[in-house]
A and B are shown apart, each in its own frame.
Chain A
Amino acid sequence: MRHGKYRFIVGFLALPLLLYGVFVISPFVQAFQISTTEWSGLRGTAKSVGLDNYAKLLHSGEFWNALRHNVVMLVLVPIATLTLGLFFAFMLNVGGRARRGAVITGVRGASFYKFVYFFPQVISITIISVIWFNIYNPDPHDGMLNSLLGAVGLHSLQSSWLGAGSIALACIMVVMVWANVGFYVVLFSAAMASIPREIYEASLLDGANRFHTFFRITLPLLWDTVQTGWVYMGIIAMDAFALVQIMSVNMGGPAGATDVVPLRLYQTAFRDSQFGYAAAMGVAMLVVTLLFAVLTMRFARRERIEF
């Protein structure tokens, strides 16, 4: 029996562990090793250079430019996405008007809104990028956004969007927010549903209005979810690869205005064949992501004590 048990355990774990070890764990370990070499990908030609690639990164204007864009996204995209998500979720779950015989709740059609808002979440980022590429089309007659602005007489607001260095990055961030808000509406809705009703009742007896209810009850009680959502959204903001690759002018342009680290990494490796240098960017991404997660947890925890 005992023998059978161990044979069973080994039999069931062997294949999953093998696949996972070969395709996930071993690349993870190798990433550090490759990052300390100068390597064009040819077998047996990797030359160890110690931490040179990292030194090169620290002095690369291109890398800092890309990283700066990721950091801007890391800060702004979660703020916008979570704020909208919280607002919509509150409206859909708590913001409704009294209806006779019903427990007062979300606005009418809440489940329809949740259904529609969530749509972009199930669609591939490639398709989202192509759609928004057409929305942002700079031609005042062809582009969806520009022709809409023209149709309502706002010709002065028409722009080349992705072609204008000053707003191209913002345009891409808008797409990220657009694509992810629905996810947070559903996430926060689920969290709001688990808030005990007695707490709301007590606050209403004390005369709290919607504003107070939201900031004194809903938000503090949702804080854990908001915190997790923030980290999750930050990780998405650290990526932005497909959006920039497909939508931006000349991949990362105009003039590097939308470049991001993953795109830099991809180009450095698979276009320029500088695999060691690109691997160092990968390690840098891991560091930035971990730093972001740790800082968020620290910061958020301190905030939470106030309540």
Chain B
Amino acid sequence: MTTETNAAEERPVIGGPRSDDRKGARSGRRSSEGGTLNVFSHGILFVWALMVGMPLLWVLWSSFKSSGDILTTPWSLPGKLHFENWVNAWDKANIGKMFLNTLIVVGGSVTGTMVLGSMAGYVLARFQFPGNRVIYYLFVAGMSFPVFMLVIPLFFVMRDFPGIPLLATYQGLIAVYIAYSLPFTVFFMTSFFRTLPTSVAEAAMIDGASHARTFFQVMLPMAKPGLISIGIFNFLGQWNQYLLPMVLNQDEDKYVLTQGLANIALQQGYEGDWGGLMAGMMIAMLPVLLVYFVFQRQVQAGLTAGALK
């Protein structure tokens, strides 16, 4: 037992979730205590996993059931696979159109957020100039404004914008998504650019590269890990955004997925295509689930970093 304990303690474990415990290896008594507790804790952990996983799986299998079956036998597996739910959702319930709208808006706004956010972050991190601190804190302050307080004035800013109609337009929504993503993005990218070594950029400058060229060809490639984290963060946030499109995008042709699904869900009581709704929700979830499956660690790290600002 002693040797086992020693071996365990000498084993270097750096970082990761496994580095902070050594209890179980101490003695037989402890191991058996751990055993009893383990059955108990495994049980609770498993029950919670079921509670989280089941509703999501339920949406998946319900998307292949007939609307009647979804209502009357919610727990049953689909007897026959109703693929037409997916087709109906895409065509008749306009999920296809909403998907495209969401893709356009989020594609534009994530790109814009990344470009503008890293530009501002770079300048604020690397250059001394009068007003640097003021601008930085102006951006950071935005993280604490409740969006609900802003939506009413924002609605009128958009409605009365001189020259260009912005309400219920792609470009209006994109501009707003970018503006509301800037506080955290600028904050994040500023601290990220501060951590990068200055020598490479200086070498590029000595070789005659302009500031802009140094930024785009040297600094941005170096900042790739940061760009991926913040890019995923913004993609998820903007894909799932609900309040801003609700207020600023009231034209049904321009509906994004979240508001369109909410709209369909609120009408279901009268129209009853539950299978289509479930398929629509699956279609809306697929991109984020894909991102989550592929970038699991970055997603978890990126989203939790947001809380620890």
Instruction: Find the A residue at minimum CB distance from B124.
Output: A13
Contact with B along A98-133 (1 / 0, CB 8 A): 111111111111111111111111111111011111
Interface size range of chain B in the complex = 35 or more
Q: Tell whether A302 is near chain B: CB-to-CB under 8 Å.
A: no
A27 at interface by CB-CB < 8 Å = yes
Q: Is B242 an interface residue (CB 8 A)?
A: yes
Q: Which residues 229-263 of A have a CB within 8 angstroms of B?
A: 229, 232, 235, 238-239, 241-242, 245-246, 261-262
Residues of A within 8 Å of B49, CB to CB, are 112-113, 116-117
Q: Flag if B123 contacts A12 (CB, 8 Å).
A: yes
Taking a contact as CB atoms under 8 Å apart, the answer to whether A116 and B142 are in contact is no
CB contact under 8 A between A187 and B307, given known A13-B123, A91-B41, A103-B18: yes
Interface presence of B251 (CB below 8 A): no
A4 touches B210 (CB 8 A): yes
Q: A20-B182, A97-B24 are in contact. Are A133 and B148 (CB under 8 A)?
A: no
Interface segment, A47-55, A61-69, A165-173, A190-198? Answer: A190-198
Minimum CB–CB distance from A166 to chain B (whole Å) comes to 23
For A116, A182, A189, A232, which residue has the most chain B Cβ atoms within 10 angstroms?
A: A116
Is the Cβ of B145 less than 8 Å from the Cβ of A24?
A: yes
Residues from chain B with a CB closer than 8 A to the CB of A270 are: 155, 247
Measured CA separation A185–B165 after assembly (Å) = 44
Counting CB contacts under 8 A, is B153 at the interface? yes
Closest to A98 in B: B24
Interface size on A, residues (CB 8 A): 127
Chain B residues within 8 Å of A20, by CB? 138-139, 142, 179, 182-183
- The stretch among A72-80, A156-164, A280-288 that forms the contact with chain B is A280-288
Q: Are B120 and A103 in contact (CB under 8 A)?
A: no
A104 pairs with B21, CB closer than 8 A? yes
Q: Is B200 an interface residue (CB 8 A)?
A: no
Q: What residues of chain A lie closer than 8 Å to B148, measured between beta carbons?
A: 239, 241, 261-262, 265-266, 282, 285
Interface presence of B135 (CB below 8 A)? yes
Q: Are A186 and B182 CB-contacts (below 8 A) given A12-B119, A122-B291?
A: no
Docked-complex contact A96 and B24, CB < 8 angstroms: yes
Are B211 and A4 touching (Cβ within 8 A)? yes
- Indicate with 1 or 0, residue by residue over B270-291, a CB within 8 angstroms of chain A CB atoms: 0000000100010011001101
Residue of B51, B73, B151, B155 most packed against chain A (CB within 10 A): B151
Contact indicator B146/A286 (Cβ below 8 Å) = yes
Interfacial chain A residues near B307, Cβ < 8 Å: 183, 187, 228-229, 232
Interface centre among B4, B9, B25 (most CB of A within 10 A): B25
Residues of B within 8 A of A133 (CB): 265
B53 A41 Cβ-Cβ under 8 A? no
Complex CA gap A117/B11 in Å reads 29
B17 touches A103 (CB 8 A): no
* Residue contact B55 to A131, C-beta cutoff 8 Å: yes
A15 near B116 (CB under 8 angstroms)? Answer: yes
- Cβ contact within 8 Å between A94 and B179: no
Q: A24-B180, A122-B236, A193-B16 are in contact. Are A103 and B8 (CB under 8 A)?
A: yes
- Of B8, B119, B281, the residue contacting A127 (CB under 8 A) is B281
Contact between B303 and A31, CB atoms less than 8 A apart: no
Q: Are A27 and B41 in contact (CB under 8 A)?
A: no
Partner of A197, one of B20, B24, B150: B20
User: Bound complex: CA of A23 vs CA of B182, how far in Å?
Assistant: 11
Instruction: Please give the distance in Å from B1's CB to the nearest CB on chain A.
Output: 10
Interface residues of B in 40-83 (CB under 8 A from A): 41-42, 44-45, 48-49, 51-53, 55-56, 58-59, 71-75
The answer to whether A12 touches B122, judged by C-beta atoms less than 8 angstroms apart, is: yes
Residues of A within 8 A of B42 (CB): 107-108
Is the C-beta of A36 less than 8 angstroms from some C-beta in chain B?
no
Would you call B240 an interface residue if the criterion is a C-beta within 8 Å of the partner chain's C-beta atoms?
yes
* 11 A/B residue pairs, CB under 8 Å, sorted by A: A5-B211, A93-B17, A94-B20, A103-B19, A104-B24, A115-B296, A122-B303, A124-B258, A126-B240, A193-B19, A246-B265
Chain A interface residues toward B at CB < 8 A: 4-6, 8-9, 11-13, 15-17, 19-20, 22-28, 30-31, 34, 41, 43, 84, 87-88, 91-127, 129-135, 137, 139, 141-144, 147-148, 151, 178, 181-183, 186-187, 189-190, 192-195, 197, 200-201, 204, 209-210, 213, 225, 228-229, 232, 235, 238-239, 241-242, 245-246, 261-262, 265-266, 269-270, 275, 278-279, 282-283, 285-286, 289-290, 293
Since A103-B8, A238-B146 are in contact, a sample of 16 more A-B pairs with Cβ atoms closer than 8 Å, ordered by chain A residue number, is: A16-B117, A23-B179, A31-B149, A98-B24, A104-B21, A113-B45, A116-B49, A123-B288, A127-B59, A131-B59, A131-B281, A144-B55, A148-B75, A193-B18, A270-B247, A285-B146
